[in-house]
Structure 1
Amino acid sequence: MAWALEIHNLAVSAGAEPVVRGVSLQLREAECLTVLGESGSGKSIMAQAVMGTLPPGLRMSGEIAVWGRRSPQPRWGHQVAMLPQEPWLALSPAMRLQPQVAEVAHFVRGQAWPAADAEAGEALQQLQLEPARRKYPHQISGGMAQRVAFAATRAAGAQLLIADEPTKGLDAALRGQIGQLLLSHLQPGQALLTITHDVALARQLGGNVAVMLDGQVVEQGPASQVLQRPRHAYTQALVQADAAHWPRLARPLRSGAAPVVQAQGLAKSFGREPVFANVDLALAEGEIVAITGPSGCGKTTLGHMLLGLVAPDRGTVRRTRQRPHAFQKLYQDPPAAFAPQRSIGDSLDDLIKLHQLSSAESQSLMQELKLDANLLARLPSEVSGGELQRFALLRILLLKPDFLFADEPTSRLDPITQQRTMQLLCASTAAHQWAMLLVTHDAALADKAAHRRAAVAFG
């Protein structure tokens, strides 16, 4: 069989700072390779090097060959296609969903438009997105956007498919479905490279696994060997870091805690589609309430109502605190929270100056969140999704809100960083006595981090 991908001694640096160091990997035709590792370990930078899309300012050395072709870069769409980590950056806000998928088959593969449109409709139906096919990206959830981006990427029919965190923000059933669709790409003349922190997905895909830490591959081999009998200490910790194994994170509530936000009789529909009805929900000081449910069921809409961003069709929301900026949101898709053309450091400095916050506290939180100071000079698009999510969390922690709507706050983080981040969120909630509504697809995480789950009938 032919080599689909050969990487030899790949190094990527940002100035004097090494980002990827001495990575060598190989992937054969009709096989899959899964790269596991924590946020910021260099996984996505390695994939961008393969695609030839490294951000400006990053320098690369070493050799990369895609289907034996070393130079120039492989033809996008035909030889190689990439499912990006952030679906919002891959979808046009001005186009409905089905045409976005159809135009890939039309322009990349040369299909006649009627056939491309029919294929796109079938792909969206297969991903349980048929009711949303005429919507725009801003009208769907993050998990739904991830599935649309997957359908569009797959429509290119590229020989080498690179999937960067394809299951983030999805419930267990949809994660399994995406895994099956990825496996369907393993045909003669095709190959699959998956970048993920989802150990369950790596198990499902099988094939070979490489584990990255601090820009280096620390362990690689058959998935059955690496995931069942890991040798490296980091791999062992990664495999064992499932939320089901965590200690209880929610701190005991203070007696007589006052309510922060109260909702009564909430109902919402979009057109003829009912989202929920007769929802009663109250959150007190220091309380963490979790909401779980499938992607696109209305969890985010409910959180937006508590923030005052969406008006209910019926019912009332009472907020007992009126302090400026007292109600905050930690976005599921962190690019939505950052100005794309300003460096992360400039955005953070703006916040500190505007609200007269502590620079020393910001530096301390960066250390606690394992954020390197060198990242401050980069644009939001030049760091990983997990790093950007932690910067978003840092800003929230500096503001010390009265109410925090945390919408899938750890979906872009590896299991180890996820646990560390949730420990910090739960400790901060108790220390500052804010209330937190936690939206998550992970039932085990909800049980460990929340005081209770809200009983909401969606749909």
Structure 2
Amino acid sequence: MKGLQAIGITVMADDATLVEPVNFTLQPGLPLTLLGETGSGKSLLAQAVMGILPQGLQASGTLIINGQHYQLPQDGAALRGLWGRTLASLPQEPWRALDPTMVIQQQVAEGYRFVRGHSDNRSEAAAQDDLEQLGLAASAHKYPWQLSGGMAQRAAFAAARAGGAQILIADEPTKGLDVSRRDEVSALLRREVAVGGTLLTITHDIALARQLDGDIMVMHKGKVIEQGRAQQVLQTPVQRYTRELLAADPANWPARQPAVIRSKPVVQAQGIRLERGGKALGVPENFTLHAGEIVGLQGASGSGKSSFGDVLLGLLKPQRGIITRLASADRLKYQKIYQDPSALFPPVQTLAQSLDDVLRLHRIARSRRNKLMEQLALDASLLTRRPDSLSGGELQRFSLLRVMLLEPVFLFADEPTSRLDPVVQQQTLQLITGMAREQQCAVLLVSHDRDLLEKSAHRVLAMQAA
């Protein structure tokens, strides 16, 4: 039998069970999607199948791959022998899978050369053909850091498939991508299925799960709680958690009541012109943001959204125009929340150490930190951990905590939820909008998701592509 069958796959850490026994079957031409929030165990399940669990974790159970039986954990070495040839992984961060020192075509060619054993010339020709089919012919001799997120994901796909593997495991393949790039990756995966490929996708992106169709398994706290055909699970879910997960999709949020904010201006832009490579970006020429107002900013990757927010913060100077901020407010009152919260905290320090630096430098009482942690539903035990041991949602709430300690008058929230699952995304947006209301903080909220902006912001601006 072609494909993959998993029987009783379990993941343990010492005496704790992280993923309870799971059974599923992957068939050529019928995609299977694991849907769930961060920490539900879906990525651990995929890592167990690939044999790449983090140190300290152990998998058990049986895998039947193309008719061959493998017992976990003892057959782990045999599983590794299938990498590239039979099993391939498309990671959620393509830059972690691509070598930053090699151009894309070389990296794809290596799969043909070292896994399939093709000659150098044949490998280069095959890589060139793959990249052309994926719309990357013009980028064949570029490095990964020269590509957009969607282009990098397509390049990683080509590299993963170069060895000839028929079973592909895609882990959060649309994480951090805008809608058009997400649809590109979705089309890529659906094309793989259409030609008889075997696909397992791990995602919290409900739109992607709907586009892939096929079968769906919903995971929650290490258990599969619901499974079935995509149409049935997504339209008429049985389990309460599945209904809550779907309700957390911005498309299903209640509409925000329109409001006109007439408070004092916090930041103003007049006659702004911003360029990249000598070409003008489609940023608003004139713009005013008031205290307590939330303005959404939408646009494709590269349109200049982040650059415009940095101009308002004073981190970037425009080619023309004037930025006016509150004369009575210290520059530290103008703050930013980043798309990737892991970039905000030193990896070798605990969260307590990082926050203590802020408290000490700005003479802020520790009691204020504790009160804000309670408001943000952050357990005190998390303070003893380093950033890499927290979930994306927990770390993003800590980044919001750090900002709130400074009582900002303006917050530039640059894609603060694009890497979060729907439930945590909704919670994080509620925290940001609540801060805007309670502290009269003006917020410029960037997102690729039009539904999210229309349901969260008082008004939405659309950026034109550069």
Instruction: Please indicate the TM-score interval, normalised by the length of the shorter structure.
Output: 0.7 to 0.9
- In the TM superposition, what is the alpha-carbon distance from 1:250 to its structure 2 partner? 7.8
2:70 alignment partner AA: R
Q: Which residue of 2 aligns with 1:243?
A: 250
Indicate whether 1:286 and 2:303 are aligned.
no
Indicate whether 1:458 and 2:449 are aligned.
no
Task: Between 369-378 and 438-447, report the one with greater CA deviation.
Answer: 369-378
- In the TM superposition, what is the alpha-carbon distance from 1:365 to its structure 2 partner? 5.0
Indicate whether 1:224 and 2:225 are aligned.
no
- In the TM superposition, what is the alpha-carbon distance from 1:214 to its structure 2 partner? 1.7
Aligned mates of 2:273, 2:134 — CA distance in 1:
30
Alignment of 1:33-72 (within 5 A): 33-56=32-55, 58-63=56-61, 65=63, 67=65, 68-70=69-71, 71-72=75-76
Alignment of 1:378-389 (within 5 A): 379-389=386-396
Task: Between 126-135 and 241-250, report the one with greater CA deviation.
Answer: 126-135
Q: Which residue of 1 aligns with 2:189?
A: 182
Aligned mates of 1:129, 1:120 — CA distance in 2:
11
* Contact 1:249/1:423 (8 A) holds in 2: no
- In the TM superposition, what is the alpha-carbon distance from 1:280 to its structure 2 partner? 2.5
Q: Which residue of 1 aligns with 2:400?
A: 393
Q: Which residue of 2 aligns with 1:299?
A: 305
Write out per-residue CA displacement over residues 210-230 of structure 1, whole angstroms, 9 at most, x where no aligned residue. 111122211112222222221
* Contact 1:142/1:332 (8 A) holds in 2: no
Task: Between 124-133 and 169-178, report the one with greater CA deviation.
Answer: 124-133
Aligned mates of 1:303, 1:325 — CA distance in 2:
15
2:60 alignment partner AA: G
Aligned mates of 1:327, 1:249 — CA distance in 2:
26
SS in 2 for 1:82: strand
Aligned mates of 2:102, 2:270 — CA distance in 1:
35
* Contact 1:276/1:298 (8 A) holds in 2: yes
* Contact 1:82/1:153 (8 A) holds in 2: yes
Aligned mates of 2:357, 2:20 — CA distance in 1:
34
Write out per-residue CA displacement over residues 95-136 of structure 1, whole angstroms, 9 at most, x where no aligned residue. 555555555555555555666566656666666666666665
Aligned mates of 1:100, 1:312 — CA distance in 2:
38
- In the TM superposition, what is the alpha-carbon distance from 1:80 to its structure 2 partner? 2.6
Write out per-residue CA displacement over residues 46-84 of structure 1, whole angstroms, 9 at most, x where no aligned residue. 22333333333x432422526233412423333333222
* Contact 2:6/2:22 (8 A) holds in 1: no
Indicate whether 1:191 and 2:198 are aligned.
yes
> Identity, % of aligned pairs?
46
Q: Using a 3 Å threshold, how does the CA distance of structure 1 residues 137 and 385 change in structure 2: closer, same or farther?
A: farther
Aligned mates of 2:406, 2:307 — CA distance in 1:
23
Aligned mates of 1:358, 1:118 — CA distance in 2:
64
RMSD: 3.5
- In the TM superposition, what is the alpha-carbon distance from 1:303 to its structure 2 partner? 2.1
* Contact 2:272/2:318 (8 A) holds in 1: no
Task: Between 311-320 and 409-418, report the one with greater CA deviation.
Answer: 311-320
- In the TM superposition, what is the alpha-carbon distance from 1:237 to its structure 2 partner? 1.9
Alignment of 1:17-166 (within 5 A): 18-56=17-55, 58-63=56-61, 65=63, 67=65, 68-70=69-71, 71-73=75-77, 74-75=79-80, 76-95=83-102, 99-101=106-108, 103-104=110-111, 106-110=113-117, 142=149, 145-166=152-173
* Contact 1:4/1:190 (8 A) holds in 2: no
- In the TM superposition, what is the alpha-carbon distance from 1:332 to its structure 2 partner? 1.9
SS in 2 for 1:279: coil
Aligned mates of 1:227, 1:333 — CA distance in 2:
29
Consecutive unaligned residues in structure 1, runs of 5 or more: none
Q: Which residue of 1 aligns with 2:318?
A: 312
1:8 alignment partner AA: G
Aligned mates of 2:174, 2:456 — CA distance in 1:
22
- In the TM superposition, what is the alpha-carbon distance from 1:155 to its structure 2 partner? 4.3
- In the TM superposition, what is the alpha-carbon distance from 1:351 to its structure 2 partner? 3.9
* Contact 2:104/2:143 (8 A) holds in 1: yes
Consecutive unaligned residues in structure 2, runs of 5 or more: none
| Structure of higher CA gyration radius | 2
* Contact 2:351/2:384 (8 A) holds in 1: yes
Among 219, 227, 240, the residue aligned to 1:212: 219
Alignment of 1:316-331 (within 5 A): 316-320=322-326, 323-331=330-338
Task: Between 400-409 and 247-256, report the one with greater CA deviation.
Answer: 247-256
Aligned mates of 2:406, 2:166 — CA distance in 1:
47
Number of positions where the alignment pairs a residue of Structure 1 with one of Structure 2: 456
Write out per-residue CA displacement over residues 395-443 of structure 1, whole angstroms, 9 at most, x where no aligned residue. 3333333322212211122223222221111111122222222111111
Aligned mates of 1:99, 1:454 — CA distance in 2:
41
Aligned mates of 1:451, 1:382 — CA distance in 2:
35
Q: Using a 3 Å threshold, how does the CA distance of structure 1 residues 273 and 134 change in structure 2: closer, same or farther?
A: farther
Aligned mates of 2:283, 2:138 — CA distance in 1:
20
- In the TM superposition, what is the alpha-carbon distance from 1:268 to its structure 2 partner? 0.7
Aligned mates of 1:46, 1:188 — CA distance in 2:
26
Aligned mates of 2:24, 2:370 — CA distance in 1:
36
Among 430, 436, 443, the residue aligned to 1:436: 443
Q: Using a 3 Å threshold, how does the CA distance of structure 1 residues 203 and 369 change in structure 2: closer, same or farther?
A: farther
TM-score by length of 1: 0.84
* Contact 2:378/2:394 (8 A) holds in 1: yes
Aligned mates of 2:289, 2:50 — CA distance in 1:
46
Q: Using a 3 Å threshold, how does the CA distance of structure 1 residues 177 and 100 change in structure 2: closer, same or farther?
A: same
Write out per-residue CA displacement over residues 380-404 of structure 1, whole angstroms, 9 at most, x where no aligned residue. 4444444443443333333333322
Alignment of 1:253-272 (within 5 A): 255-270=262-277
Aligned mates of 2:129, 2:178 — CA distance in 1:
21
Aligned mates of 2:429, 2:454 — CA distance in 1:
12
Task: Between 415-424 and 74-83, report the one with greater CA deviation.
Answer: 74-83
